[in-house]
Amino acid sequence: MTKTVLIVDDSVTVRQQVRAALGSGGFDVVEASDGTEGAETIGRLTHLAAVLCDVNMPRMNGIEMLEAVKRDPRHTALPIVMLTTEGQHELVQRAKAAGAKGWIVKPFKPDLLLAAMRKITAT
């Protein structure tokens, strides 16, 4: 069965790049442009295999979205990986403590992104 990944990023170009990278590996990709839209999409789509999420975005940032989503017991098992330009130790630790599954610093390498998503969505 095809697995679906949600990419949450305010850059349409980054969303397209993620779609191209994961699409080549057989993933379906759905998109959201900020944390608010991302949280709404996660609440609406029950079949998501994983989420890739930027940190710096308008309305709701990625860390806030992660913390909000993980407070909902329905999503505790949903793997969320942060995809960002940020590298601060404190932010990485905050995301880890909130339940993030990983941290990738842009620009991402398509083959490594695909390998990471395959690993965390393997059942």
The binding site for another protein (CB under 8 A) comprises: 11-14, 16-17, 19-20, 56, 58, 81, 84-89, 92, 96, 100-109, 112-113, 115-116, 119-120
Tokens 């789509």 locate to 45
What is the 8-class DSSP label of residue 79?
Answer: -
Q: Are 45 and 74 in contact (CB under 8 A)?
A: no
Kindly report the backbone phi and psi dihedral angles of residue 25, in degrees, each rounded to the nearest multiple of 5, phi listed first.
-100, 10
Q: Which two tokens stand for residue 80?
A: 């969320």
Q: Which is nearer to another protein, 24 or 46 (CB)?
A: 24
Q: Which two tokens stand for residue 40?
A: 């709404």
Tokens 């992660």 locate to 66
Q: Which is nearer to another protein, 16 or 36 (CB)?
A: 16
Smallest distance from another protein to CB 26, Å:
18
Smallest distance from another protein to CB 109, Å:
5
Q: Which is nearer to another protein, 4 or 104 (CB)?
A: 104
Smallest distance from another protein to CB 44, Å:
25
Amino acid letter, residue 68: A
